A and B are shown apart, each in its own frame.
Chain A
């Protein structure tokens, strides 16, 4: 139920984000979701892609630093209070979020929340017990 996210180190310089996107596009890799976190010097580009292992390979050959991280995808209805409801459950279980980002899924009017928790452990079980819908990698990639 954990899914693979790839993270790429990019310097805050003109064109570097485009360079990564182009590498993926040239290799026919589709980006499903992404977020960019940055400081004044550098950024970390985090992406869910359809072929993560292949993506790592091609990004690496283009001299970028890249790694795979396990994240959790939670599906919620795309309506008011969707995120707040999930966060309430996460908070009440005292789970710490390292970072998160979201995207809206077109077909079913749902939102997908991608979470990076600091310790995965039994987080998934806890969240499932509380009634959250955790997506599998296959489900995420087939959206």
Chain B
């Protein structure tokens, strides 16, 4: 089912015309209203008048996550603050959070793209959407909420966690649609088994899973255990939240809503734009956002644009599901974690050596991070309880800094491999 037949099936020359027109307007607006972009464009000697069509986009400067942090909180606003009706931010675990400021039109746009997303899997106004993404500053919860409301479906804003209650609500209200992270969905299946809920007798028909990487085999497992169709969705706070791209019922690649979010794939080292089908870093420009429009955001996600048009009738290009990252970021239960953050925490704990190893695995379908820390003479004690206290203390410090539970394990001195080049800090055992 196509939510917005007109916009989602525009012939490609018309789409290009629309993108060109929108890009011109956008560039003029940010040049005039956002000093940050004026400066960046002046440095590259690009004037708004140099942008005549979407092809000229490669003349424009990139925006990085650091740029967005440096301008925290509202340095990227393109209009008066009185027009902003809602703020969302990233968790800020790696520094200052990234801010998304929405005007009413931006919220309408968000509702529109999320309505498209939910329609892709067949949600209509007759459906009951159990929204188990977190509500709050995180974009997941409200993004799905607005989309479901736009369609006119019934929303259950249950937010994340509290699994037995999730299952009870799912059963009692006959939820047809589930939205949450893929790992949480599999965890729900386990709880259902333990608590005696028969998932076969539930009414679920479709699930929307995003915010962490997952694979085709995980899709098969989810579909077999929850008796629903599993749809991969993509989005990021820097752009709008969920609703940047989504799979249609063909479940083969994610349509990017490119009338609003223009995608490019670049070589992450040279910045050169690559052809469709070539693997590289995804870069997105928000063509229509008003509050905090973004030029050429470097997502650091690795993927490629799929050259063929989809048989579903939509003309928006598709991107392959994510293939990796250009940095060493880990996504643990939907939270972004960088090894450097863990290092900072460890260095603050007195007596701890800066040698550590991160082991990421998935247990009971949930991501699990073990932090191995080397023992040394300073912290060693002949009493087990003192050693356990050290582990607990580090676990606590890491939890406050990252927002993710980790398990700290003390290991023998010099047991973590030393390297002369880039240290090997991560062992990722997750099968995704």
User: Which A residues form the contact surface with B (CB < 8 A)?
Assistant: 5, 7, 9-11, 16, 37-39, 41-42, 44, 46, 63-67, 69, 98-99, 116
Contacts and interface: CB of A to CB of B under 8 A. Distances in A.
Contacts of A7: 380-382
A44 B412 contact: no
B352 interface: no
A6 to B, nearest CB: 9
A138 B388 CA distance: 34
B420 interface: no
Nearest to B376: A65
Interface of B: 375-377, 380-384, 387-388, 409-415
A9 B381 CA distance: 9
A118 to B, nearest CB: 9
A37 B384 contact: yes
Interface core residue of B377, B381, B383, B411 (most chain A CB under 10 Å): B383
A44 B384 contact: yes
28 contacts: A7-B380, A7-B382, A9-B380, A9-B410, A9-B412, A11-B411, A11-B412, A11-B415, A38-B384, A39-B387, A41-B411, A42-B375, A42-B409, A42-B410, A44-B382, A44-B387, A63-B412, A65-B375, A65-B376, A65-B377, A65-B380, A67-B377, A67-B380, A67-B382, A69-B382, A99-B383, A116-B382, A116-B383
A18 to B, nearest CB: 14
A38 B415 CA distance: 19
Given A44-B384, A67-B377, 18 more contacts: A7-B380, A9-B380, A9-B387, A11-B411, A38-B384, A41-B409, A41-B410, A41-B411, A42-B375, A42-B411, A44-B382, A44-B383, A63-B412, A64-B412, A66-B380, A67-B380, A69-B382, A116-B383
A44 B387 CA distance: 10
Contacts of A41: 409-411
Given A9-B375, A9-B380, A99-B383, A64 B409 contact: no
Contacts of B388: 39
A64 B374 CA distance: 11
A41 B390 CA distance: 13
Contacts of B409: 41-42
Contacts of A42: 375, 387, 409-411
User: Which 6 residue pairs are nearest across A and B when measured between Cβ atoms?
Assistant: A7-B382, A65-B380, A69-B382, A41-B409, A65-B375, A63-B414
A64 B412 CA distance: 7
A39 B388 CA distance: 9
A76 B141 CA distance: 68
